[in-house]
Amino acid sequence: MEKLLLFGTGRFYQRRREKLYAMLGQDEIVGFLDNRAEEKRIVDGRPVYLPGELSGISYDRIILMSASIREMREQLLQRGVSAARISFYEEYLAAKVAGTVALPIRAASCREKKRILIVAYAMNYDGGTIVAVYAAQALQARGYDVTLTASAIHPDLARDVQAMGVEFVACPTLPYLGDKEREWIGQYDILIVNVFPNIQVACSMRRILPVIWWLHEAGEPYSAIYPHFRYQFSRYDSSTQMGGLQIFGVSPIASRVFSGYYPEVPIGVLPYGIPDTWTHEQARHEIPVFAIIGGIQALKGQRELLQAARVLWRKLRRMPFEVWLIGSESDNAYGREVSDLVQQCPFARFKGILTREKMETAYRSIDVVVCASQEETMSMTCIEGLMHAKVCLTTRNTGIASYLEDGVNGFVCEDNRPEHLADALERIWKARPQWDAIGRRGRMVYEEYFTMDAFGERLEQALLQAESEKA
């Protein structure tokens, strides 16, 4: 039994409090720390202290309940708190469920092919998750025995994964590993570790079996993932901890980002592929539809696209078109601004999160797929658009941009500033008579580079390389 102090009482804590309290067991929360404690001295019936009041409190461990883990931890260390008494929220939960995944794996149905474990991060409808599922499918098609694992999976996605015939096993401690988890993973022949947040998994398993580490993340200032997880897993934040890993970026951009942090560590490029679900059907939709797909966040540029579309709307003197926003909402400042714009723009339609089945239906009505990201290491949505023979618009700061010739098989604008997006939207509008031809040429890009066959071949070559290096 431990006496816990929770550092943070804001949105991070509020969103996780139910799960945290369910996991406490014999542990007891004796109070909170907050730099604004003078504004609220009681939260959930427990006292709230300023960090300067720590000396008078009896506690065993402090749990950081915020995304600002560096600032909080350094503040506590400066006040003399031992590092051993400070835990990240995810680290604390992982310790509570350590050893709960110790499942015997199935015997491989085809022993000349290997048993592959793909370790994903918490699985939702995001690009990194979806391509991990597609990687499992591509390897299964080549006879490998593949299992997917993550700490958790969105219920709708779990049903989709099951329908795809991909086995999923929950490993609640991820991205942390204990001895039991390492023992379980060690039963597989090859490990594919998806995304940078799984740095501990990749680095701690590299001496046990061949490991491919597949990276998708953008760099600063577009994403805080690298700084956040380098600090959270500082023990593994060195090139020596990565020796023996086969590391790939999903595009040259992803590889370049990684090399900016670890210039001594070799990294290759491993683009993904997606299943061909194009039915050649186009729903009857009299009004042209532009769609941007992804959760509402500044990186994705939904605000900038709506601002640009408003310019086009005025230039066309309100000639009808629609802009669909497909993905999860956000209640941060950027999300609220996007929500306000949706209300102000008569052409804007917020569609929310769509399952894969509903997304396939939506594509039949979409004319133009837009990736308005500040930076995107590839762009799942554009590849899906190319596969569906849609016109695609992306910014130059995306991996997919290098596959497109502006105005020929898609459109590329310099960046996601509203004025640049507005100019691109106007060029696309003027090219409406050529949309079908541009879409067909975009489809040819998909067929050459992004089919599941091409993806499977690239994956298999990476597996063989990992095995040969480990031998």
Question: Where are the domains positioned within the chain?
Answer: 3-96, 115-274+453-470, 289-449
Distance CA 407, CA 26 (A): 63
Name the strand (E) or helix (H) holding 49: strand 46-49
Q: One fold for both 3-96 and 115-274+453-470?
A: yes
pLDDT at 106: 58
pLDDT at 172: 93
44 HSE (CA, 13 A, CB side): 13
pLDDT at 225: 93
Q: Which tens digits make up the pLDDT trace of 261-282?
A: 999 999 999 999 999 999 887 6
Q: Which tens digits make up the pLDDT trace of 185-232?
A: 999 999 999 999 999 999 999 999 999 999 999 988 788 899 999 999
Amino acid at residue number 277: T
Largest Cα–Cα distance in the chain?
A: 74
Position 376 confidence tier, pLDDT thresholds 50, 70, 90: very high
Residues forming a β-bridge with 147? 117, 167
Distance CA 81, CA 68 (A): 17
Number of Cβ within a 10 Å radius of residue 212: 24
Paired tokens of 87: 């835990």
Nearest alpha-carbon partner for 73 in 90, 92, 88: 88
Contact (Cβ atoms closer than 8 angstroms) between residue 450 and residue 272: yes
- The CATH code for residues 115-274+453-470 is 3.40.50.2000
Contact (Cβ atoms closer than 8 angstroms) between residue 300 and residue 293: no
What's the N-to-C CA distance of the chain in angstroms?
Answer: 45
Q: Which tens digits make up the pLDDT trace of 24-39?
A: 999 999 999 999 999 9
Contact (Cβ atoms closer than 8 angstroms) between residue 161 and residue 148: yes
Task: Indicate whether 97 pLDDT > 80.
Answer: yes
CATH fold of 3-96 reads Rossmann fold (3.40.50)
- Interval 438-452 mean pLDDT: 98
Position 356 confidence tier, pLDDT thresholds 50, 70, 90: confident
Which residue is associated with the tokens 């939260």?
43
Sheet holding 322-326, edge to edge: 348-352, 322-326, 289-293, 368-371, 391-395, 411-413
pLDDT at 355: 84
Q: Which tens digits make up the pLDDT trace of 383-399?
A: 999 999 999 999 999 99
pLDDT at 279: 86
pLDDT at 466: 94
CATH fold of 289-449 reads Rossmann fold (3.40.50)
Q: 160 in helix, strand or coil? A: helix
> What's the predicted TM-score (pTM) here?
0.90
Lowest-pLDDT range, 51-60, 104-113, 215-224, 435-444?
104-113
Task: Indicate whether 104 pLDDT > 60.
Answer: no
pLDDT at 62: 98
Residues forming a β-bridge with 33? 7, 49
Paired tokens of 109: 């149905």
Contact (Cβ atoms closer than 8 angstroms) between residue 312 and residue 425: yes
Paired tokens of 6: 């929770």
- Interval 72-98 mean pLDDT: 96
Q: Read out DSSP for 290-346? A: EEEES-S-GGGTHHHHHHHHHHHHHHTTS---EEEEES----SHHHHHHHHHHHH-T
Nearest alpha-carbon partner for 435 in 402, 409, 413, 400: 409
Distance CA 409, CA 418 (A): 22
Lowest-pLDDT range, 283-292, 314-323, 429-438?
283-292
Q: What is the mean pLDDT of the chain?
A: 93
Position 438 confidence tier, pLDDT thresholds 50, 70, 90: very high
pLDDT at 103: 62
